[in-house]
């Protein structure tokens, strides 16, 4: 009986071993299928639009490419209007928009990735430390043309404005209740870096740009400074806590519900896996 019991036990043991081996192989197969699925994620994504969002998406794209070696992410600027137009016409897989979506854009699918603010910048050596909303309006409408009018040195003010189609222009005009035809500017620029370079190279200039861009450039030694708006400091922290009045969501958008590679990238861009990139770019992650 013992011998029979021994044989019987060996059969059970063998069956258990076979079962465990099968389960292990199935688990490995599942893992391999997931890895293969990742490896099969391939292709090129064309992403166009907002110059505010572009540096952030470019960095997220680099990390995405490192995860998926067969993927290439091509990021191009041109303004939020281009992002909307290219996404709608199928010229880009994803558009970038640095503002809230408009009612007439509800046909598009929008995915917020971060928040940012728009702040005024002066050259670091300009003695003016703050401007009231009324003074900003007077400067941009040509009623004040010399820095002495706001407590500065005797020098003509160089007014730097954003080009049509830029969401920073739209936010600026909306906040100060102005029309673009009201603005009397000496320089019209496109992206944020152009604005920063213009002010950094002209001690008498004033412009408005992404707070994220300005804070990053300041940290790199660019000679500019951000002014408060409505007596609230222009900073990532005041954007984060909701006290800064000129803030906005940063979106990526698609024409149709995203699938495949496009969906994988959008999911990644909205995940906590890129919060460090968002913070490094001086933007505000949507979820802490």
Q: Are residues 158 and 227 in the same domain?
A: yes
Segments of the chain with pLDDT less than 70: 1-39, 287-288
pTM higher than 0.85: no
The pLDDT of residue 20: 39
In-domain check, residue 16: no
The pLDDT of residue 40: 78
- Establish how many alpha carbons lie within 13 A of residue 36's alpha carbon, considering only the half-sphere containing its beta carbon: 6
Expressed as residue numbers, the domain containing 104 is 43-115+253-280
The answer to whether 59 and 146 are in contact (CB under 8 A) is no
Q: Are residues 175 and 267 in the same domain?
A: no
In-domain check, residue 14: no
Q: Are residues 153 and 221 in the same domain?
A: yes
The answer to whether 162 and 172 are in contact (CB under 8 A) is yes
The pLDDT of residue 287: 67
The pLDDT of residue 95: 98
pLDDT tens for each residue of 131-152? 999 999 999 999 999 999 999 9
Tokens coding 82: 């281009």
How far apart, in whole angstroms, are the C-alpha atoms of residue 185 and residue 182? 9
The pLDDT of residue 166: 87
| CATH code, domain carrying 188 | 3.40.190.10
Q: How many domains does the chain have?
A: 2
Tokens coding 190: 């496109």
The answer to whether 121 and 129 are in contact (CB under 8 A) is no
In-domain check, residue 276: yes
Q: Which residue's structure tokens are 């099968």? A: 22
């Amino acid at each position: 009986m013992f011998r029979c019991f021994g044989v019987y036990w060996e059969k059970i043991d063998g069956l258990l071993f076979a079962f465990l081996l099968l389960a292990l192989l199935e688990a490995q197969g599942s893992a391999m299928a997931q890895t293969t699925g990742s490896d099969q994620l391939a292709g090129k994504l064309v992403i166009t639009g907002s110059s505010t969002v572009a540096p952030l998406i470019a960095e997220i794209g680099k990390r995405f490419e490192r995860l998926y070696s067969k993927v290439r992410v091509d990021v191009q600027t041109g303004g939020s209007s281009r992002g909307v137009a290219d996404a709608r016409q199928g010229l880009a897989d994803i558009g970038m928009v640095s503002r809230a979506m408009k009612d007439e854009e509800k046909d598009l699918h929008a995915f917020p990735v971060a928040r940012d603010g728009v702040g005024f910048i002066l050259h670091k050596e300009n003695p003016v430390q703050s401007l009231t909303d009324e003074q900003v309006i007077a400067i941009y409408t040509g009623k004040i043309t010399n820095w002495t009018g706001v407590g500065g040195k005797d020098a003509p003010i160089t007014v730097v404005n954003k080009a049509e189609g830029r969401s920073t222009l739209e936010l600026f005009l909306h906040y100060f209740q102005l029309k673009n035809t009201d603005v009397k500017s000496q320089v019209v620029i496109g992206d944020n870096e152009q604005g920063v370079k213009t002010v950094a190279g002209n001690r008498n200039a004033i412009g408005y740009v992404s707070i994220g861009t300005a804070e990053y450039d300041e940290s790199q030694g660019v000679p500019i400074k951000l002014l408060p708006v409505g007596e609230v400091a222009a900073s990532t922290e005041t954007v984060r806590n909701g006290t800064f009045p000129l803030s906005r969501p940063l979106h990526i958008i698609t024409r149709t519900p995203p699938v495949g590679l496009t969906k994988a990238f959008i999911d990644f861009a909205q995940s906590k896996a890129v919060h460090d990139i968002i913070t490094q770019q001086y933007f505000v992650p949507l979820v802490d």
